[in-house]
Amino acid sequence: MYSFIGKALLFTITFSILISMFALIVSRISLKRNVWLAGFFSNVLDFFYLPIKYFFCKLSDPRILDKWIVSLKNIANASSFSKTKNRIIIVPHCVRALDCPASSTILGIQCRDCGKCIASQLRKDAKKYGYDLYITTGSSAIANILKHKPADGILGIACDYEINKGMCALNGKKVVTYGVPLLNDGCYNTKVDYEKVIEMLEYFDKKKI
């Protein structure tokens, strides 16, 4: 009996390590091109996220893991996102200017279109492509936003960690997510990959036609 349990445990551990390693290889490849079973492999990395991240913290940069997972999830979600009708854009408050005059509410930062940061331009772009834009102080605010503005698609602009965190939180909520990572991490003065945002807005706009 104990011998069987030991063999089963050894098999489980070995299988877990092998499938995690294979999922990591696929996720790295996904940065360059589309891969098959992206959703499956992203779920594998989500399931083993904490132990894998521990090793990344010890041996590499944990931000790399989130970047790879977001890449997989974007590939897995792209087709479903293109079919969504009511979309919003979520932008982190860290892109604001240090002297931003906007006030904060339960629905996020209320941009005044002062032009001191990229947020005012993103609001104009969002409106052009049929999105509502919200500037949040954290992923926890998304729940309040969805109560105010029901949506079936969210384009998230943030660091890879926050994008992945938001995608996990909305998994199973009938909301399709797609992420555009920031050019740099941090709590303030972060930069948006504006060309990538416009590229995605145009891409999904064409997919609606």
- Structural domains for the chain: 1-82 (no CATH), 85-209 (3.40.50)
Residue-wise pLDDT for 80-137, tens only, equals: 999 999 999 999 999 998 889 988 888 888 898 898 899 999 999 999 999 999 998 8
Query: In this predicted structure, what is the pLDDT of residue 106?
Result: 84
Helices (DSSP H) in 48-193: which residue ranges?
49-59, 62-82, 119-128, 142-148, 160-170
Query: In this predicted structure, what is the pLDDT of residue 7?
Result: 76
Query: In this predicted structure, what is the pLDDT of residue 2?
Result: 64
